[in-house]
A and B are shown apart, each in its own frame.
Chain A
Amino acid sequence: MAHQAGPVWCDGEVLDEVVDYPIHERVLPNGLRVVVSPDRSVPVVAVNLWYDVGSRDEKPGQFGWAHLFEHLMFSGSAHVASGEHLQLLQSWGGSVNATTWFDRTNYFDTVPVGATDLALWMEADRLSSLADHLTDDSVDTQRDVVTEEKRQRYDNVPYGEAMTELTVMLFGSDHPYGHTTIGTEADLAGANAQAAAAFFRQHYRPNNAVLTLVGDLSPKEAFRKAAHAFGQLPGGERRHRQPPTALPPLTGVPQQAVAAEVPASASYLAWRLPVRDTAEFDAADLALAILGQGQTSRLHRRIVRDGRLAAAAGGQALRLIGGNSVGLLHVRAIPGLSLDAALTAAFAELTALAQDGPTPAELARAKAQFRREWLSGLASFDSRADLIGAYATLHDDPNRVNHRLAEVSAVTADQVQAATRQFLNPDQRCQLDYRNEASNATP
């Protein structure tokens, strides 16, 4: 079979034709931004709300509050009982949840089209009245739930504390990104109904939110429904954040060992990257893909496949808006073996990519993979709505979902090389090590 050197369907012009989701946008008088993208293929509507508040807005002493308070959004409001929001929409076949991240808190109700009004009404009810219906009892119960979430997902899992440790090393604990969303048990203990109410009144406002509707309705219907549900809520001027400062790459190589029992040694390397979805970020993102994603990536080939130096090696970028993003590489050992050779090889690959740049085939491949992932992300109504909400909230441009493929497609090999040199320098990383000492004794 003929080997295709460069996939022709990665041509920028073709891409623009392929991705053309309709985007309609309006701002209600109270400041709520409403974005609508009709799609009649399935009788379903994704209702998605992004609130422009995340763990980066937590002050010292409040770590974990944004996420704890996200749980409280399900604890009942003026006309909705505790847990009813989820229970009722689920009982109509809806898929309902919420997540908290560094840059935002999102709430999504993907429902049969006939339940759209109900979903909007319940979202508006809790936005307008939640702060008046909080009790210390509900805060106490959800604090227990969140503590169990922390144990289940971080404390009781091998390598579970890695991101928490890396964020501190990378940014320092006084930086907005210097702690993760799950927070600390001490800070969670300090939350009460009064503090939660103050937090909601500050951040949960129509003028600090984006409502995205994707699915089986017309723009006219969608705007009318949104205005009916949310229009009467008091709002104000849109909150504008101070432009965040971009931190330069780290100086030196902060290193830390975690004293935890793990089945195999592992190392996590992290870098400060440029802010998400800039040309520089995209170049660094592609560099990390070339290094660390897929069977053909340099780290997998050299470390896992050819060298058999480790059990796993990979990389990714964590896209953030507040001045910096994060670049990550990780290597996990074969149980009982040392990671030294694998780490040496990883640094050699970083250096080689910085010196020589990617091959044309590597760059085309990374873009082809990005394209599939991007289109898969847009395939379902709920994740499409979430992406549109992200670009509206963080970039003030929901239409960018239609342009991202062209933007990434335009990144050159020189830009990838420059980004590797500038942002993924092995001498400007931080490193977190787990060592399986008992096993290391018998190599």
Chain B
Amino acid sequence: MRRRDQRPTVAPAPRWRFGLPRTSWLDNGLEVLICHRPGQHIASVCLSLDIPLNSEPRDIEGVATITQRCLDEGTLQHPGISFSEALEDIGAVLDGSVGLSASQLFLDVPTAALPQALLLLAEAVSSPELAESHVERHRELRLADIAQTFASSSRSAQVAFRKACLPRRFRASRMAGGSASRVARVTVEDVRAFHATHYRPEGATLIITADLTAEVYAWVDAAFSGWQVPGTVTPQHPTLEPRAPHRWLIDRPGAVQADLRLGALGIDRTDPRWADLQVATYAVGGAFLSRLNRVLREERGFTYGVHLTNQPMRSSGLLAVQGSFRTEVVGEAVQLAAQLINITEHALTETEVSEAVRYYTGSSPLRYSTAAGVTQNLAALVAAGVSADFIDANAYALTQVTPASATEALAGLLPPDRLTLVAVGSAEELTRPLNDIGWPVTEHSL
């Protein structure tokens, strides 16, 4: 038996494979992914609509968000509040998210009530009321949201970094929910037209994860096979290109911290360097003792936490050092962060790479252990136009990553002289120190 003061060894995890969903299609073109997971009491459902945001008319950007928010305000079958009552009566909750490449609805419900919940979900997408009063109110609430976004340092930094990394011709450079001036123009006619054109079964994907029997196919059929939309639409998903680097300071007078983003446009999951980049971001800014967090938090105490975030989109991605630092140390923090992500001279080590690979492979069973975990991860892949096979293929690709390949991937994506910097904080206190360390910034307002 092991002595008590002796560190236990870790038994390697059995090889894990993702239990692939069963894929089928309804006659109207709706793709259905069914994931059976025994023991899960709560069914987790996503309906993903193939609506890239560049399908919004430019002058009413935000219409996709307003449309989605109006869906549960009443349907032809359940007018007004009776729709929400019907949903909540069965213990269901319906949420939505409007992303750059898909509008998605998420439904959680006890599995016993799944048939009723699917009927309600189908009603919401196929026959919402879209009354004028609903649109007016959600326009007003979206404007209130925008005010809250700009009052938040971290959300402002996110918006600014996206804008700084992408040329204006791309919809992705702007807020998914639209800016105040454009949201203010959205009318009920716009919403109805947007819904009539873009909410359609072909191209859409329904994901259901729960403890299921074959009965689920009949439930899906009963709910969705009657969903028919005339005409055809061919969604266009753009290929993004980077903007020239920018260094912006967003002024928040008196702020005690500055939110920083330092990075560049990255890559998406279809890029051959994807697994290399995953490994490199973990080592440099994902692990607790990553290069960034070890120095900036654990040694210097400059921040509650700093990460190198790798946020993939359908085309390319956003790659940035992200953290909130006390105002007095921002100059030094930027300098240190820039040094730490410049890994050409300090290549990733064997240990860093093997720990990162083990992290991703070891954490997979946990990531996919609940119905919600499976549905949410699949939903992200569907929005990115990637099939569920990606999960196992990616797990294999990770095992092929070497220190050289991971180093090369990150170094190539974050060239030191081509980095974009966004700082959200007190201009009065930050302009000079950033200038002094050779990172002159221009003031920018959102």
Known: A44-B365, A152-B257, A232-B4. A308 touches B137 (CB 8 A): yes
Which residue of B has the minimal Cβ distance to A216?
B365
Q: Which of B289-312 contact A (CB under 8 A)?
A: 289, 294, 297-304
The verdict on A399 contacting chain B, using a C-beta distance below 8 Å, is no
Contacts of B393 in A (CB 8 A): none
**B256 pairs with A156, CB closer than 8 A:** yes
**A148 pairs with B302, CB closer than 8 A:** yes
Contacts of A92 in B (CB 8 A): 10, 358-359, 362
Q: What's the Cα separation between A79 and B81 when bound, in Å? A: 60
Known: A141-B301, A145-B301. A371 touches B91 (CB 8 A): yes
Which residue of B has the minimal Cβ distance to A378?
B41
Q: What's the Cα separation between A335 and B412 when bound, in Å? A: 45
Task: State the Cβ distance, B347 to closest chain A Cβ, in Å.
Answer: 19
**B88 pairs with A381, CB closer than 8 A:** no
Q: Which of A19, A155, A232 contacts B256 (CB 8 A)?
A: A155
Q: Which of A87-103 contact B (CB under 8 A)?
A: 87, 90-96
The verdict on B152 contacting chain A, using a C-beta distance below 8 Å, is yes
Residues of B participating in the A interface, judged by any CB pair closer than 8 Å: 1-2, 4-5, 7-14, 16, 38-42, 72, 77-78, 81-82, 84-93, 108-110, 112-113, 116, 119, 123, 137, 140-141, 143-145, 147-148, 150-153, 255-257, 287-289, 294, 297-304, 324-326, 355-356, 358-366, 369-373
Q: What's the Cα separation between A113 and B12 when bound, in Å? A: 9
**A93 pairs with B364, CB closer than 8 A:** yes
Apart from A114-B10, A264-B148, A365-B88, what are 11 other A-B pairs with CB-CB below 8 Å? Answer: A1-B119, A83-B298, A90-B287, A93-B363, A93-B366, A141-B300, A143-B301, A148-B301, A148-B303, A368-B88, A369-B91
Interface segment among A2-10, A52-60, A173-181: the answer is A2-10
Which residue of A has the minimal Cβ distance to B116?
A4
**A144 pairs with B89, CB closer than 8 A:** no
**A372 pairs with B42, CB closer than 8 A:** yes
**B151 pairs with A112, CB closer than 8 A:** no
**A375 pairs with B42, CB closer than 8 A:** yes
**A296 pairs with B366, CB closer than 8 A:** no
**A87 pairs with B287, CB closer than 8 A:** yes
Contacts of B38 in A (CB 8 A): 41
Contacts of A86 in B (CB 8 A): 288-289
Q: Which of A153, A264, A305 contacts B81 (CB 8 A)?
A: A305
Task: State the Cβ distance, A75 to closest chain B Cβ, in Å.
Answer: 9
**B359 pairs with A141, CB closer than 8 A:** no
Contacts of A144 in B (CB 8 A): 300-302
The 9 closest A-B pairs by CB, nearest first: A93-B362, A144-B301, A114-B11, A368-B91, A117-B8, A91-B355, A295-B84, A93-B363, A86-B288
Q: What's the Cα separation between A242 and B419 when bound, in Å? A: 59
**B150 pairs with A79, CB closer than 8 A:** no
For chain A, give the interface size range.
35 or more
Contacts of B356 in A (CB 8 A): 91
Task: State the Cβ distance, B400 to closest chain A Cβ, in Å.
Answer: 18
The verdict on A149 contacting chain B, using a C-beta distance below 8 Å, is yes
In the assembled complex, 21 residue pairs joining A and B whose CB atoms fall closer than 8 Å, in A order, are: A4-B86, A7-B90, A9-B112, A39-B39, A79-B7, A84-B289, A86-B289, A91-B359, A92-B362, A112-B13, A141-B299, A144-B302, A148-B326, A151-B257, A228-B1, A232-B4, A332-B144, A334-B144, A335-B143, A372-B42, A379-B41
The verdict on A294 contacting chain B, using a C-beta distance below 8 Å, is yes
The verdict on A263 contacting chain B, using a C-beta distance below 8 Å, is yes
**B143 pairs with A301, CB closer than 8 A:** no
**A311 pairs with B110, CB closer than 8 A:** no
Q: What's the Cα separation between A128 and B140 when bound, in Å? A: 57
Task: State the Cβ distance, B418 to closest chain A Cβ, in Å.
Answer: 29
Q: What's the Cα separation between A296 and B84 when bound, in Å? A: 6
Task: State the Cβ distance, A141 to closest chain B Cβ, in Å.
Answer: 4
**A263 pairs with B289, CB closer than 8 A:** no
The verdict on A361 contacting chain B, using a C-beta distance below 8 Å, is yes
Q: Which of A114, A145, A332 contacts B303 (CB 8 A)?
A: A145
**B301 pairs with A295, CB closer than 8 A:** no
Which residue of A has the minimal Cβ distance to B8?
A117
Q: Which of A18, A141, A296 contacts B88 (CB 8 A)?
A: A296
The verdict on A22 contacting chain B, using a C-beta distance below 8 Å, is no
**A140 pairs with B256, CB closer than 8 A:** no
Contacts of B81 in A (CB 8 A): 295-296, 301, 305
Q: What's the Cα separation between A215 and B179 when bound, in Å? A: 47
The verdict on A441 contacting chain B, using a C-beta distance below 8 Å, is no
**B301 pairs with A41, CB closer than 8 A:** no
Q: What's the Cα separation between A295 and B92 when bound, in Å? A: 12
Which residue of A has the minimal Cβ distance to B151?
A263
**A114 pairs with B12, CB closer than 8 A:** yes
**B299 pairs with A148, CB closer than 8 A:** no
- Among B91, B302, B326, B372, the one with the most A-chain Cβ atoms within 10 Å of its Cβ is B91
- Among A84, A148, A378, the one with the most B-chain Cβ atoms within 10 Å of its Cβ is A148
